[in-house]
Amino acid sequence: MATTLARIIKYGVQNFLRNGWLSAVTILVMVLALFVFNSLVIFNFLTDSASFALKDKIDISVYFKEITGEDDILKVGKNLEALPEVRAVEYISKENALKIFSDAHKEDVVISSALEELGGNPLLASLNVKAKDPNDYDKIASYLENSSFFAAIEKVTYAQNQLVINRLAQVVNALENVGISVVIVLALIASLVTFNTIRLGIYSNREELGIMRLVGASNKYIRGPYIVNGILYGIIAGVLSLVIAAPIVSLASPYLSAFMPDVSLSNYFYGNLSKLLGYQLMFGMLLGSVSSVIAVRRYLKI
Amino acid sequence: MIAFNHVTKQYNNTAALDDVTFKVNPGEFVSIVGKSGAGKSTIVKLIIGEERPTHGRILVGSNEVNKLKSDELPRLRREVGIVFQDFKLIPTKTAAENISFALELAGRQQHEIENLVPQMLDMVGLADKADNFPNELSGGEKQRVAIARAMVHKPAVVVADEPTGNLDDFNTQEIIKLLLKINEFGTTVILSTHSRHVVDSINKRVISLSDGKIISDEEKGKYTIL
C-alpha cells in the first residue's frame, strides 16, 4: 500500500517534469483562473467595505422638544439601544449641536452673523440612530411613533430622508447581489477553461492510459499519478497567482484609499495572506484533481 | 490452462468466432493461424477480457473470463503476459521503466525490480537501451521490450497477437526464438500469426481458423490454409 502510494506520487512528479511544456501551459491557465478567483475575493472585500461605508452614512436623527430634559433623552436613547435593529445611538446636546453647526459654517459670514444676532441657541438636542441593516429604519421610525415618549419628540428626520435612505439601501443591496453573481459566473468560466486544458493534456496521453489498462493496471493506479499532477498544478499555480497579485495590490492600494479613506487594500491583502493562500491552494488542488479524475475516466473502459 | 467452450463472438450480426471449442494445457506452445479476419485477434481479445463473448464460456486459469467485471480484469491481465502487434509500449516511459511497470503492477518490491529488469533487458539483448524511450527504438527492439514486459513477472501464460506482423525476417526469427525460450521455461505460449514461414519453423501444435471456425487442430502442425 505504502509502496503503491510512493510509486503513484513518483509517477505524478515524473509526468509533471517530463511533460514540461504541457505542465507550464496548464499552470499558466490555472494561474489566470486563480487570479480571477483572487480578484473576486478582493472585489468582494471592496464591495463589503463600500457597502459598510454607505450603511454607516445612513442614519436618522430624533430631535426633542426644547422642554425635554437631558435625562429623559438619555432614557429614550437607552430604550433605542435595546432594540435588536439598532447598532448605535449617539446623543448630541443643544450645545454640541451649536458647536458642530458653527464650526461647519465658520467661513460663512452671513450665517455666523445671523447666529450672533440671534443671541440664544436655536438648535435642538437630538439622538443620532444607526441601524444594523438599512432596511430596518422603517421599523425604528414606527417604534418611535408608537412609543410613550412620542410627545417629547419634535421631529424625526427619517420622514424627510425616507426616500433617499430607501434608495441607498437598494443600491447597497444591488451592489452586493451583482458582486456575488459576477463572482459565481467568472469563477465558473475560469474553472471550465482550466478543466478543458487539463482534459486536453490527458487526451494527448489516452494511448498510454489504454496500454496501462491492457497490461493489467488497476484504475486507481492509472488515475493516481494524474491526480498527483493536478494537485501539483494547483499548488504551483496557487503560489504563483499570489506572487503576481502582491505587487498589483501594493500599486492599487493608495488609489483605492483615495476613494475610501477607511479602506486599506494592502492591509487586507497582507493581513489575510495565509487565508488567501489557503483558499487558492484548496481551490487549485480541488480543480486540478477533480478535472483529472473526470478527464481520465473515459479512457479506462477498455 | 485455457479453455474455450462453444464460444461465439458477433459484431453487428457477423460472427468473428463461431462456436469455437479448444483447450490449451499448461506448458503448451500453440500457434493460432488464419488469414486476416479469420478470428485470431478476437481469440486474444477474449482471453484478456478486452472483448466479451456473445455466447460460451472462457476459462483462463481459475478465471471464468466471460463473467469477470470491469474492475476484476486488471487481476486477470496481470496473470497473463500479453504481446501486441503494435507493441503497445508506454511512450512516456523508457525501456527499463516499461518493464518495471509490469513488476510494479505485480506488487514487487523496488530492490527486486532493480535486480530483475537488467537481467531481463540482457536476456532480450537490449542491455544498452535501458534508458531509451520507445520512439528511440527500432520495431524489433520495441517488440523485444514488449516481450520482456510480458514475461518479467513470470506469468503462467504469454499471449502474443501477431507479434511479428510489423517486423522484418531477421527480427521475426529473433522474436520467435524468444517465445520458444519462454516456453522452454514452462510458460504456456499462445501465438497468433498469419505467417506460413513462422508457423512452419516452430513445429508445435497449430490451430487453424477460417471465417471464425476451427478447421484443424494438430500436434506438430504446419500452415495448411491456402
Query: What is the distance in angstroms between the Cα of B153 and the nearest Cα belonging to chain A?
Result: 12
Residue A130's CATH number: 3.30.70.3040
Question: What pLDDT is recorded for position A165?
Answer: 65
Comparing alpha-carbon positions, the chain B residue that sits nearest to A301 is: B70
What average pLDDT does the structure give for chain A? 84
Question: Do A226 and A288 share a domain, yes or no?
Answer: yes
Mean per-residue pLDDT for A176-182?
A: 80
Range of the domain at A108: 58-161
Tens-digit pLDDT profile for residues B159-181 = 999 998 888 888 899 889 989 99
Q: For position A169, what pLDDT does the model report?
A: 67
**Would residue A118 count as lying in a domain?**
yes
Contact of B219 with chain A, judged by CB distance below 8 Å, is answered with no
Q: Is A42 a domain residue? A: yes
For residues A176 and A243, membership in a common domain is answered with yes
Paired strand residues for A62: A127, A156
- Check pLDDT > 80 for residue A56: no
Ranked by mean pLDDT, the top range of A116-125, A266-275, B81-90 is B81-90
pLDDT of residue A74: 85
**Domain closes at, from A137, A161, A185:** A161
For residue A159, the model assigns a pLDDT of 54
Q: Do A210 and A229 share a domain, yes or no?
A: yes
pLDDT score, position A224: 92
Distance from CA of B220 to the nearest CA of A (A): 30
Chain B positions in Cβ-Cβ contact with residue A222 (cut-off 8 Å): none
The verdict on a CB contact (< 8 Å) between A215 and B102 is yes
Chain A residues whose beta carbon lies within 8 Å of the beta carbon of residue B71: 218-219
Count: domains in chain B: 1
Cα→Cα distances B189→A269, B151, B194, Å: 67, 11, 16
pLDDT category, B10, cuts 50, 70, 90? very high
Whether A45 has a pLDDT exceeding 60, the answer reads yes
Integer Rg of chain A from CA: 31
The predicted pLDDT at position A71 comes to: 84
Compute the nearest-CA separation of A230 from chain B (Å).
18
Which residues in chain A (134-173) have CB-CB distances under 8 A to chain B? none
Range of the domain at B44: 2-90+156-218
Q: How large a percentage of chain A has pLDDT more than 70?
A: 95
- Which chain A residues are closer than 8 Å to B147 by Cβ? none
**Residue A268 belongs to a domain:** yes
pLDDT for B51 equals: 92
- Cross-chain Cβ contact B84/A221 below 8 Å: no
Residues A209 and A254 in one domain: yes
Antiparallel, parallel or unpaired: β B213-218 and B205-210: antiparallel
pLDDT tens-digit series, residues A230-288: 999 999 999 999 999 889 888 888 887 777 777 788 888 888 889 889 988 998 899 88
Is residue B84 a part of any domain in this protein? yes
Per CB-CB distance under 8 Å, the chain B contacts of A216 are 73-78, 80, 102, 105
- Domain assignment present for residue B41? The answer is yes
- CB contacts of B104 in chain A (<8 Å) are 7
Measured between CB atoms, does B75 come within 8 Å of chain A? yes
Q: Which of A120, A149, A3 is nearest to A62 (CA)?
A: A149
For A220, which residue in chain B has the nearest alpha carbon? B71
| A48 plus A179 within the same structural domain | yes
Task: Specify whether A39 is located in the same domain as A9.
Answer: yes
Q: Domain boundary residue among A143, A161, A179?
A: A161
Is the same domain home to A181 and A125? no
Residue A215: list chain B partners with CB under 8 A: 77, 82, 88, 101-102, 105, 149
Task: Say if residue A82 is in the same domain as residue A187.
Answer: no
Interface probe with A: pick from B41, B104, B161, most Cβ of A within 10 Å: B104
Total number of domains in chain A: 2
Decide if pLDDT at A171 tops 90: no
| pLDDT value of position B7 | 95
Say if CB A23 and CB A177 are below 8 A apart.
no
Does residue B225 form part of some domain?
A: no
Closest Cα in chain A, distance from residue B108 (Å): 9
Interface contact A216-B105, CB threshold 8 A: yes
CATH number, residue B174: 3.40.50.300
Q: Does residue A225 sit within a domain?
A: yes
- Let me know whether A62 and A149 are in one domain: yes
A161, A179, A210 - which closes a domain? A161
User: Do both A192 and A155 map to the same domain?
Assistant: no
Task: Choose the weakest-confidence range: A56-60, A111-115, A235-239, B45-49.
Answer: A56-60
> CA-nearest residue of chain A to B105?
A217
For residue B50, what pLDDT is reported?
92
Write the pLDDT tens digit of every residue in A145-162: 887 777 778 888 765 566
Whether A29 and A110 map to the same domain: the answer is: no
A270 inside domain: yes
How sure is the predictor about A4, in pLDDT bands with cuts at 50, 70 and 90? Answer: confident
Domain membership of residue A302 (yes or no) is no
Select the highest-mean-pLDDT range: A128-132, B57-61, B217-221: B57-61
